[in-house]
Amino acid sequence: MPQGQPNSVPEDGLTTRQRRHRPLLAVHTGEMKGKSTSAFGMALRGWNQGWSIGVFQFVKSAKWRVGEESAFRALGRLHEQTGEGGPVEWHKMGEGWSWARKKTGEQDHAASALEGWREIARRIENQQHDLYVLDEFSYPLHWGWVDVEEVVRTLRDRPGFQHVVITGRYAPQQLVETADLVMETSKVKHPMDSGQKGQKGIEW
């Protein structure tokens, strides 16, 4: 894709403008770090365009506040106060999902992941956000907690103009085939190979 130009143009009856402004389903998978970071970079660009951003973190601990979360929550407050950018919502599975009417103690992770997906599907049907980041969502799909065919169908048939980015290893083949953009990270070298643990400002 030299200078951002497509290698070929399909005969699909669409104009260049129509083809350029279609909503995308992106999948960031692979074994190396950077999948979520790239997705949050896309969300940052979307926020700058005034889009409504919805982040849904699966698997990651609710106690672990990553740098992107603090930054996006601050951007959400900035939007509320000044109107700059777009609204931001950030939800983590370990918190019991903030929309739940009743908070409980220990929840079954599979049931919690499914409830999270059900809420996302409702929001997609209502066209609630312009860009969804489903962080580490490939794991509930890989583990069978959430039905892959249902997810693919919902995302494929989503109404309006809604971008979706899914991150995590082991992305199911059905999801990969349905996506418009698929990125797979691979490791060449990593500090952990020489015994170095993750560090502030790099991993969180």
- Give the chain's length: 204
Give the pTM.
Answer: 0.86
Give the model's confidence band at 109: pLDDT under 50 very low, under 70 low, under 90 confident, else very high: confident
SS (H, E, C) the chain: CHHHCCCCCCCCCCCHHHHHCCCCEEEEEECCCCHHHHHHHHHHHHHHCCCCEEEEECCCCCCCCCHHHHHHHHHHHHHHHHCCCCCEEEEEHHHCCCCCCCCCCCCCHHHHHHHHHHHHHHHHHCCCCCEEEEECCHHHHHCCCCCHHHHHHHHHCCCCCCEEEEECCCCCHHHHHHCCEEEEECCCCCHHHHCCCCCCCCCC
> Is-contact 152 175, C-beta < 8 A?
yes
Min mean pLDDT across 71-75, 105-109, 157-161, 173-177 is at 105-109
Has residue 18 got a pLDDT over 90? no
* Closest C-alpha among 152, 133, 117 to residue 40: 133
Can you tell me the distance from the alpha carbon of 80 to that of 138, in angstroms, rounded to the nearest whole number? 32
Return d(Cα 149, Cα 156) in angstroms, integer: 10
What number is the average pLDDT over the span 80-104? 82
Name the token pair of 136. 């580490």
Q: Using alpha carbons only, give the angle 122, 60, 195 rounded to the nearest 5 degrees.
A: 155
Percent of the chain whose pLDDT exceeds 90: 64
Residues with Cβ within 8 Å of 142's Cβ and at least 6 positions away in sequence, in order, are 168, 169, 170, 171, 172
Is it the case that residue 113 has pLDDT exceeding 90? yes
Kindly list the domain boundaries of the chain, sorted by start residue. 38-99+106-185
More confidently predicted of 194 and 99? 194
Q: Which residue would you say has higher pLDDT here, 156 or 108? A: 156
Quickly name the fold that domain 38-99+106-185 has. Rossmann fold (3.40.50)
Q: Is the dihedral of CA 113, 119, 124, 128 positive or negative?
A: negative
pLDDT surpasses 60 at 33: yes
Residue 139 in this model has a pLDDT that exceeds 80:
yes
Q: What is the pLDDT of residue 167?
A: 97
Mean pLDDT of 72-80: 98
**Please, which pLDDT band fits residue 66 given cuts at 50, 70 and 90?**
confident
The residue ranking higher by pLDDT, 130 or 111, is 130
Closest CA to 163 of 133, 195, 126, 120: 133
Q: What percent of the chain has pLDDT over 70?
A: 79
Give me the chain's average pLDDT, please: 87
State the pLDDT at residue 176. Answer: 98
Say what the pLDDT of residue 105 is: 43
